[in-house]
Amino acid sequence: MSSCQTLDHIIAGGHLHALFQPIVDMRDGKVAGYEGLIRGPSDSPWHAPQKLLAEARRQGRLFELDVLCREVILGQFAHLGLGEKLFLNVTPDVLLDRKAIHGVTLRFLKEVGIPPDRVVIELTEQEPIIDYSIMRDAVRHYRDMGFSIALDDLGAGYSSLRHWSELQPEYVKIDMHFVQNVDRDDVKRQFLRSINEIAHGLGTRIIAEGIETAAEYEVIRHLGIPLGQGYHIARPAAEPTLAAERLRHERSWDPQDWFPAPRNRAQELIHPNPVANPNQTLADTVAQFQTSPDLHCLPVVDRGRPVGMVRRHELLMLYSQRFTRELHDRSPLRYFMRVDPLLVPADQPLEELSEAISAHGQVDQEFVIIDPHTGDYLGVGWLVELLKKLTKLQVHYARYANPLTQLPGNVPINEHLDQLLATHQPFTVAYCDLDHFKPFNDHYGYARGDRVIRALGDLVRRLPRRQGDFVGHVGGDDFILVFNGEGEGHARCKWLLEAFAEQVGEFYDAGDRATGGVTLLDRQGRPRFFPLLSLSIGVVPVDPGLFESHLDIAQRASEVKRCAKQKPGNTLFVDRRLGSDQHDIVTDKPPVRRLG
């Protein structure tokens, strides 16, 4: 079959399938949208989209193929019921094609019930744009219909900065070249920082493409880039699942991550400090330092917003050089200031601030604290004071962490519950307890029992986590999970039950695993069989005004957990006393059947 017949076959038969890759909000990891991707038949040379598009362009059938791609992607997007925005790839050639049928995308959207404001037209550059006036008209046409515009691969291609200037897109994707190894490349970090500042001024949202490692993810997040995409977050899939929603915030685990939401924030570090104006002269700035011997630095502020930093020792060293005074006394300060001070929102938790300083690429004695909503200058923070506060927090964490799992113990658990009650917002508490753990401990000894508890601690740390969630280790084989929001956590509790059931056989010797448990003598000397370990979880929805303190929650959670333990096997039991009787919503088969 010739290549022409092959392309004919694909277009005529609609032999394409869609994949979707999540784009996430870098602040909390929630899915903000999906990029729709297309693939040809897996058994053909046109499976890869680049080859398929190249062949269609060669044959002059790019518009036909593009229409089919839109139809397939939009149809599957609607079928899956995916929320948020859809990023739909379109080449500029197609927008300018004389054969283009106006309104074809709107017709597809109407057929599948998707409003235009949920679709972003993503311009992918394959050929240089010759006539920008025609392209501007085409982009305006899509905007008038309700679509947003995204520019793909900034930093690659022919003239992407001009595209940005001419087309003024709502979104700009940074080419993956500038993202790869950004954790080890100062130049790339500075490039991303500068581009993000430009985007902020233009009202454009930046998307970092090609995030493939946890280290890259962390640097991108701390640079303040709003959106991210890449294999570290989720690979393209025909049916993207909720697994993509958990922030692959799964960075290297730190015990502090599961402690109560940090209450110590950057605003505690604000110190008043004199400021300078970018247009004041170098001579005036030197005079400020000379009249204030204790003045270490001057943030440079323009119309309320920090734009630079001048440090005493750097400026005086410059001023002491030969001819500097004669040549530059009347020059504006903006030519001599540092233009990349670390800007810290006042509401940033101190733990995150420490990571942001590391990601900044240079460690300075000071940083600028700004209003998180307006970006206005508030004051200066000092690194030495941050380190003192972090040391104090770490001592607090260590003092109240469970020694076996290093998860928060009873004191931080109680503090966290009381803190949530004070917000008068709904949340969910899940009390986890192992079944048959005492006979297991008696049979195998405390060392293997500790191994089980540590393994369960590792599983709860791997739970898909959302902002404000919390895990604590009450003691022994009891754990507490706290999920923010009403009706939260059921799916994640089920995941925990399944993960434990799959792992439990590893804790037993082969013979006991084969029989499905252990046999011990009771106090009367009679043999008694105990099944394999299982996990019971009692879930208590906490509505505002229902409980007065953590003590009330603990009592109710204990009662619900006991109900869960009355069922055999891995069980999730939800307290329903507010609306109807309590009931269990899922009971796994006993582990012996699972292990078969």
SS (H, E, C) 511-542: HHHHHCEEEEECCCCCEEEEECCEEEEEEEEE
Q: What is the mean pLDDT of residues 190-213?
A: 87
**How large is the average pLDDT for residues 67-86?**
90
Per-residue pLDDT of 256-282, as tens digits, reads 444 454 467 899 999 999 999 999 999
State the pairing for strand pair 227-228/297-302.
Answer: unpaired
- Which pLDDT belongs to residue 406? 83
What's the pLDDT score for residue 531?
95
Asked whether residue 1 carries a pLDDT value surpassing 60, the answer given is: no
Structural domain spans, the chain: 3-246, 266-390, 401-595
pLDDT computed for residue 591 by the predictor: 38
pLDDT band at 96 (very low <50, low <70, confident <90, very high): low
Give residue 469's pLDDT: 84
Distance CA 253, CA 128 (A): 45
User: Which contiguous run of DSSP H or E holds residue 307?
Assistant: strand 305-311
Q: Which two tokens stand for residue 4?
A: 């022409």
Fold of 266-390: CBS-domain (3.10.580)
pLDDT at 235: 86
Q: How confident is the model at residue 48 (pLDDT cuts 50, 70, 90)?
A: confident
How many percent of the chain have pLDDT more than 70? Answer: 86
Q: Which of 111-115, 138-142, 332-336, 592-596 has the lowest mean pLDDT?
A: 592-596
Region 237-258: mean pLDDT is: 51
pLDDT, tens digit, for every residue of 493-546? Answer: 998 999 999 999 999 999 999 999 999 987 788 999 999 999 999 999 999 888
If one compares 277 and 48, the residue with the highest pLDDT of the two is 277
What lies within 8 Å, CB to CB, of 450 at 6+ separation is 404
Q: Are 409 and 401 in contact (CB under 8 A)?
A: yes
pLDDT value for 467: 67
| CA nearest to 24, candidates 83, 112, 91 | 83
**101 confidence band (pLDDT: 50, 70, 90):** low
Q: Looking at the predicted structure, is the pLDDT value of residue 590 above 50? A: no
Q: Name the token pair of 149.
A: 């515009």
Q: How far apart are CA 178 and CA 187, in angstroms?
A: 9
Q: How far apart are CA 318 and CA 247, in angstroms?
A: 46
458-492: per-residue pLDDT in tens?
898 888 777 678 899 999 999 999 998 877 788 88
Q: Is 60 exceeded by the pLDDT of residue 315? A: yes
pLDDT above 60 for 226: yes
pLDDT of residue 304: 93
Name which of 393-397, 404-408, 411-415, 543-547 the model is least confident about.
393-397
Task: Please give the pLDDT value at position 298.
Answer: 96
| pTM exceeding 0.75 | no
pLDDT greater than 70 at residue 211:
yes
Query: Token pair for residue 208?
Result: 């970092």
How far apart, in whole angstroms, are the C-alpha atoms of residue 198 and residue 160?
14
Tell me how far apart the alpha carbons of residues 268 and 392 are, in angstroms, rounded to a whole number: 14
* Averaged confidence pLDDT in the chain: 83
Residue 61 CB-half CA count within 13 A? 18
CATH tag, 401-595 = 3.30.70.270
Q: What is the mean pLDDT of residues 362-373?
A: 84
Q: What's the average model confidence in pLDDT over 365-390?
A: 91
Predicted local confidence at residue 358, as pLDDT: 66
3-246: CATH topology is TIM Barrel (3.20.20)
pLDDT at 327: 86
Residues 6+ positions from 361 with CB-CB distance below 8 Å: 186, 189, 190
Q: Express as a percent the part of the chain with pLDDT over 90.
A: 40
391 has a pLDDT exceeding 90: no
* Higher-scoring residue by pLDDT: 526, 93: 526
DSSP state of 336: T
The torsion region of residue 14 among left (phi > 0), alpha (psi -120 to 50) and beta comes to left
Kindly state the tokens that stand for 509.
Answer: 């010797």
Residue 2 reports pLDDT greater than 70: no
